[in-house]
Amino acid sequence: MQSLNEIKSILSESHTVDALKSFITTYESDERAGVRKLTDTAGKRIDSIEKELARLKEMRKFENENRQFGLLCGIDEVGRGPLAGPVYAAAVILPEDVDILYINDSKKLSEKKREELYSEIMEKAVAVGIGHVSEKRIDEINILQATYEAMTMAVSELSVKPGALLIDAVHIPQLDAYKQISIIKGDAKSASIAAASIIAKVTRDRVMKQYAEEYPEYGFDSNKGYGSKDHIEAIKKYGPCPIHRRSFIGNFI
C-alpha cells in the first residue's frame, strides 16, 4: 500500500483536470482519512481550474471575433507614469487555442506570478517583440509619442508579421499599415494584450532593478521609477540622476 507521502507527491504533480480526475478515480476508494482529504483537495483544484478556463475563454473573445485577419498581435506598454527610466512596450502573438492559466493584466498579478507567466508566454508564444524608448527621448517628444515609438519598435521586432493588432485603448499612427483593434481596458479583456502587458512589465522591472544598483539612493528596485514618497524625497535631497525624466520632475527640483 502506498504511503500518504507518496500519494501527496502524486497529487503535487497532477496539474491538469484530466490528471486530477485520474487521481480521484485511483484513490477515492481508499478509506484513510488523509487520502480522503487529498481527494477532496483534488476536487477543489478541478473546480478552480475549470473556473479559470472559463475566464480564459472569455479573455479570448476578441481574438475569436477577429480570426479572419489571421495572426493577431496583442500590444501593451508599461512606464508611462514614472519619473525615471524608459517606457517599454511588448507585442505578443499567441497560438490560437493556447491556455496560459492566470494570465491577466500585469497590474493585477504579483511579481512572482508575473515572472512565472513571463517564462510560459515566452515559451508558448508564436512571436514576441519588445521595444523601449529612453527617458531622454521621452523628454524630447513627450510620453505619448514615445509610447507610440516603443510600440512600433515592438511590432518591428516580431519574427512573423501579424494580420491585425489588438491594442489597449489607443490607435498608433505609425502602424496605420495594420488593421488596429482598440480595446478599452484591453489588458484585462484580451489574452494577447494581457500577455504583452506581462512581458513589458517584467522586462522594464528587471531594467529598473539594474538601475537600482547604479543609483541606489533612489530605490528604483522597489518604486521602479514611480513617484513614491521616498523617491521624491531622494530627488529633493540628491537631485536628479541621469535616468530621471526632466520633463516629469520639474516640480521636485
CA distance 252 to 37: 58
CA distance 3 to 30: 11
Instruction: Report yes or no: 168 and 147 within 8 Å, Cβ to Cβ.
Output: no
Domains along the sequence of the chain with CATH: 4-58 (no CATH), 62-201 (3.30.420.10)
**Does residue 40 have a known ligand-binding role?**
no
Tell which residue, 201, 237, 203, 198, has the closest CA to residue 217.
237
Whole-prediction pTM: 0.91
CA distance 46 to 51: 9
Digits of tens for pLDDT over the chain (253 positions)? Answer: 899 999 999 999 998 999 999 999 999 999 999 999 999 999 999 999 999 999 999 999 999 999 999 999 999 999 999 999 999 999 999 999 888 999 999 999 999 999 999 999 999 999 999 999 999 999 999 999 999 999 999 999 999 999 999 998 889 999 999 999 999 999 999 999 999 999 999 999 999 999 999 999 999 999 999 999 999 999 999 999 999 999 999 877 7
**Does residue 187 have a known ligand-binding role?**
no
How many DSSP H helices and E strands does the chain contain?
Answer: 10, 5
94: its cell numbers: 499567441
Secondary structure element (H or E) that encloses residue 56, with its range: helix 33-59
The confidence score (pLDDT) of residue 60 equals 94
By the 10 Å C-beta count (0-12 exposed, 13-18 middle, 19+ buried), 220 is classed as: buried
